[in-house]
Amino acid sequence: MKTDSLISALSEDTLLNQRVDGVLPWILAASTLVFGGGYLLLAGVRPDIGEALQHLNVLIKQVFPLILAATALGLVMNLSRPGERPGVWPWVLMVVPAILIFAVVTQLLVLPAAAWGPAFIGHSISVCLTMIPLISAPILAGSLYILRRGAPTHPGLCGAVAGLMSSGAAATAYAFFCTDDSPLFYSTWYSVGIGAMTLVGFLLGRQFLRW
DSSP state of 182: -
DSSP state of 181: -
d(CA 60, CA 88): 22
- When pLDDT is cut at 50, 70 and 90, the band that residue 11 belongs to is very low
Among positive and negative, which fits the CA dihedral 71, 40, 43, 35?
negative
Which residues contact residue 159 at a Cβ distance below 8 angstroms, ignoring those fewer than 6 apart?
A: 144, 147, 201, 202, 203, 204, 205, 206, 208, 209
**Structural contact between residues 29 and 135, judged by C-beta atoms closer than 8 angstroms:** no
d(CA 68, CA 6): 32
Distances (CA, A) of 55 to 49, 58, 99, 116, 160: 10, 6, 15, 19, 32
Helices (H) and strands (E) in the chain, counts: 12, 0
d(CA 3, CA 5): 5
Which residues contact residue 79 at a Cβ distance below 8 angstroms, ignoring those fewer than 6 apart?
A: 86, 152, 153, 154, 157, 158, 161
Quote the pLDDT of residue 5: 47
Q: Give the alpha-carbon dihedral of 116, 121, 123, 129, to 10 degrees.
A: 140
d(CA 211, CA 155): 9
**Structural contact between residues 143 and 165, judged by C-beta atoms closer than 8 angstroms:** yes
d(CA 8, CA 68): 30
Quote the pLDDT of residue 18: 58
Average pLDDT (152-160) is 92
pTM: 0.89
pLDDT digits (tens, 9 = 90+) for 69-124: 999 999 999 998 877 777 899 999 999 999 999 999 999 999 999 999 999 999 99
